[in-house]
Structure 1
Amino acid sequence: MLQQLKRFLIAGVGALVLVGGPVAAITPSPQMIEQFKNLPKAEQERIARQYGIDPSMLSGQATQPTIVNPEVVAPRNTGSTTEVVNQSETDAFNQATKTESQIEAREEELEKQLKRFGYDMFAGEPSTFAPVSDVPVPAEYMMGPGDVLNVQLYGKENKNFSLTVGRDGLVQFPDLGPISLVGMSFSEAKNFLTDKIAQSMIGIQANITMGELRSIRIFVAGDAYRPGSYTVSSLSTITQALFVSGGINEIGSLRNIQLKRAGRTVGTFDLYDLLLAGDASKDLRLQSGDVVFIPSVGGLVSVTGEVRRPAIYEIKANDTMADVLNMASGAKPGAYPEASTIERFSKDVKTVINVDLTQASGLSVKAKAGDLVRVKSTSTRIDNAVTLVGAVVRPGKYQYRNGMRLRDMLPSIWGDLTLNADLDYGLLVREINQRGDVKVIQVSVGKAISGDDSANIALQPRDTLMVFDYADRATLLEPVITQLRQQSRFGDAIKLADINGSVRFPGKYPITEGATIKDLLVAAGGLKEGAYTLSAELTRQNISEQTGVTVTHQQLSLQDVLLNDPSANIALQSRDVLTVRDLPDWQDTRWVTIKGEVRFPGTYSIQRGETLKHVLSRAGGLSEDAAPRSAVFLRESVKQKEKTELLKLSDELRREIAAKALTKDTPTVGYADAQNMLKELENVEVLGRLVVDINAIQLGIDEADLKLEDGDALFIPAQNQTVSVMGQVQHPSTHRYKKGFTFDQYLELAGGPRKRADDDRAYILRADGSVAMPGSSYWFSTDEEMQPGDTIVMPLDTEYKDNLTLWSQVTQIIYNTAVAVATISGL
């Protein structure tokens, strides 16, 4: 039943299409609508697509039809199109690449990415026919059967007629009878009818225009994208026929499109004339029965390199390199056409021909099929420029002028240099040959700008002036040092020297022309505070073919060097090392901090070897309310050691967890528990606490005293009359200190240990940071009397769930840190 209904509906729709002709949409009857609703949705969509029916009309939801222009040409489904690589990337590649194989591979890749010129114009395929009907009709248009003339009569009578040219060339004009227009153009027919009306119909004038145009049948043959027979407008030309047929396929010619009429070629059209020059004079108008024939492509030439339009071009016989260069829209400004090449197939090999595309001899070379023309780029090096880099306001390249000097580049300290520029040390890097080898000249920018003619060095083309600051010294020097290393050939000494010790910028520096020890000191930014000027050491390698290399150490007086004493300020040699010593017992200012219950808390400067007892005395000693047993002493070196140990502990914990996970007879720690434990450990912030006995120090016991280091901090809290109980107890809390109360009594005040507590490993964290562990001290017992500020820690029983003993270490670290932090934050 369903198949019969489908056949009936399709037949009805088809009949309406045939009877109604090319209308915009079909108006279905109510019976058709009801039958259409009973069909499956997929079948409804198929019928609507096939017969151009608006589905909303058949579903009973008629909407206002939307008028849209038909899509004549849809995009071709040819896959992705590779774009031509940016030529600037190619230049950068060629500059950076040194191997021949890599350059050849890059050139082959660029060649493969070239596209055929002109084929983008037809990057679509036809979908329907939309005749050209809204363009002006030229006067020379030849009238033919099917054309319509619109005639408007006005004057004594007002009438409008539409006259259709019949197959016999006649139009049936009311009141005038049949009129023959055979062989007439539109202009001739218009004038003829106007005269006829004026002679036959007195007092009436006529206005004649072109109405509907006839359609003609033409053929597109050869290498078209879709060859075949097409119905087009009588005003269509060769290019319009190409668009209707989808253009030209991959092997079709753009330059020899032929128009054949009655078996004879009546014209040829070169699309390059239209694409390159906008010349459509040979785009002939078509007549019924014409054949547009597209032959196969002729010779192809690839053009790549520094041209405006790299592509593959079709050539004709006798085309030259000048024609090819013109097709590619000429060379770019950065091209070097004098060194262009042609890769050409010759018998069974491929040859390369050098051509100068700036000379008539090179431009007149004939192009051959398969040629690959490469237009080379010019050098990126600038010949007549000097370069300014570093701590300057306007770095970059500047034009060189004859007689140019350093002060011409930098006339003002305030206007041309940055605030942190080094006025005493700069470098002038100068090329000395065509290989790019350089020599380095040390300059004083400040002296040159201030008017010292001896420092105002004359510049040369391709010089690079480097002005240093106090941050980019090593960065700017790196390429210079690298170049000096590379140009050291055949055993030549590398012109580099080292300076270390008490200078502002120790490191490796170029040995400039005539450089001395003083110049090296200036390059390193000068001496630091505390430098020992009476004696410095110069280490020198002496190379001899007979004795080999011998190393000597020479003592120099920097005072004499700075005074330009020739005996001390000697010339530098390659691989010299100058070591500048510090003054004996020299030290930078060291600071320690004392806070809390002292008479004069604050930050104190210390000298080497000064002890905690001495600094406490300078701070006025302890106040009456001080709790020396609760003092917290922090040291940076201890903090760094604790960080290292904590990382080791974390790694050990991970390994033990992994090992227990592989043990069959041991319960494993759950993944969540292990992650929480590691996370808690990683979040512990170490303080670097060092246990000190302030009371013993106050009594004068030397063994209790300690030497201070830079950054030490001592925190002495007020007297603390509390005892805290932490960890696995029923109620962790802090209690008022009661003299004579023992460990067990305070533990009872906290409700006693929990089920998971490890009471055998409970310990007391003393106020001074020391720990009393059970079994590790003969005097520790559960009836031990507690002291003010002590903390009882009841750890977790790590064997309750697993024998992971590192839990106890983690717990101890956490609790010890917490107690110290609480003490410091209370100050």
Structure 2
Amino acid sequence: MVTTGLVFAQIDPSAASGDGSMFGGALGGGRPTTQTQNLGPAILGGTSALDRAAIRETIANGSSQQAEKPTDINGEPSEFQKYVQEKVGSIVPNFGANFFEKAPTTFAPALNIPVPADYEFGPGDEVIIRAWGGANIDYRAVIDRNGIISIPAVGTIPLSGIKASQAEGVIRNAIGKSFSNVQVSVTPGQIRAIRVYVVGQAQKPGAYTVSSLSTLITAIFATGGPSTTGSMRNVELKRGGRTVTKVDLYSFIAKGDKKEDVQLQEGDTIVFPPIFGQVAIIGAVETPAIYELKNDSETIGSLISLIGGLPVTSDPQTATLQRLDPTSKPAAIQQSVSLDQSGQKMAWMRGDILTVIGISTAVPMAKRNILVRIDGEVNKPGIYQMKYGQTTQDLIEKAGGPTPQAYIFATSFYRNSTRVQQVDAYKRLLLRMEASVKSQAATLSQNMSGGVGTEAAILAQRNQAALAAAQGQIARLKQLKPEGRIALNINPNADSVEAIPDLPLEPGDRLSIPAMSDFVQVYGSVNIESSLLYKPSATVSDYLKLSGTQKEADMDAIFMLRADGTVLSDDGSYFSSIMGQKVNPGDTIVVPEKLDRETKYSAFMRGLKDWSMILGQLGLAAAAIHVLAN
């Protein structure tokens, strides 16, 4: 049976009517402008090959320029795109955005579209009836609001709710009651239009008149899809106050999966909720892009499988994950992750940027490229592709040099191989600390076993409190993870990037040049634990006069954590007296508390200075001080 029907006869919601109606002339009695639109085949790629090539080229060249082709529906980067561009040095497209690049703005009927056999007729549909033999009928009938058609000399026939495959039999039976020996042919004519609504974070919200043949996915495409803040993964279809279905467009775009698609009905509402969260996957992948998270349980592996898995040229053991943590300074923390089966079970956090590292064993080591990162106060921060043998100075030059706000002394340098060594050393350090606490506790218990009276009980209680405090501190220190920071020992008065050591780069290295700080931190046994305004030429003694020290302060154990990550104290190698040491912007002064010196256990607690120097060598001193202070 040859059938034809109307797919789209839609109102342009952006058209303005003379009476000020928000839906334009189509709802106010005017006539909207339409044009013929061939919807064409579904687009099954989230990012074109041209886009992928552009991204790789910009990362390879260290360029911060945007790709020539707009990467979202509006042609303007979203806020998260701007954030990613700031971090990686190039614009990254939104996955699936090009699916809506050719969405029509106005619509006209599309003819010669087959009507499905399970299509249910309703008021407004037209049927073409032809009969010959015992009767000669050539008639076009439109189903009225009561769901029936009327044929002269035959009478009324109910058709509402009848499927297209059943209509011919129903009409033949009705005609057969009045005529005999009749042959009947029934085909759909013009299909009715229905009104649907598009709301929420939509690209073009409003009311649309669409064909009753339309499904949710075709309507999403035709109405322009979500805005830059709208979700593609949780699109809802509401009908009669309830949610009929939710569509994840990623499944359709990547795999052609339409199991969640349903046919629209009169009065349906398509809702685009806000995006739950976004992450970026860049580097050695087939589809580098910004991806939307469906929920908070989305894993790294689920998105990687969505883009076809990792290419054979990627290294599954080496990837970098930049994660936002508002509680840390800086807020963006970089860590190395493995993309093996276990690593891919890691859950995403909103704002993550995953960089997949590529390998090429066919290329000699001297000719291989490596990916490194530079951030902070440089003119073009981001991820750069460098060659083996190139150095930190080459990286700084490629990033456009420092900005006027750069604080050279506080420059930090992170390396994956160093991080691995630090993790192992930190585990051993924590074991030593725990062993020391247990040893002191055993000694104290043995020494106090023969004591009697109130004084002995008070001393035992004090020792137990100190023991519990030390165990609590160790528990908090276990939460810290070495990041592979290497102290660069830069002169505090350095004002040129030439003072930064010219180190050969390795894969995954990160160089960070912060802005000049205006404050000095003071922690410990002081009257005011706070950030004090930096004053040139001021010493440790000057800042302690401002903050005030408590009577419990151990003035012999004061130490200072420098902005470059090193630790200075009275027995350090820089000065014989910490009190006269000049303080630089971003430095932290720590005043330990003097405990009961009669107990052997107090020696461990006064050893915080020694532990801090060790933690400084592991790049953890600043984090440890903050943890212990809280």
Q: TM-score, with normalisation over the residues of structure 1?
A: 0.34
Q: TM-score, with normalisation over the residues of structure 2?
A: 0.45
Which one has a bigger Cα radius of gyration?
1
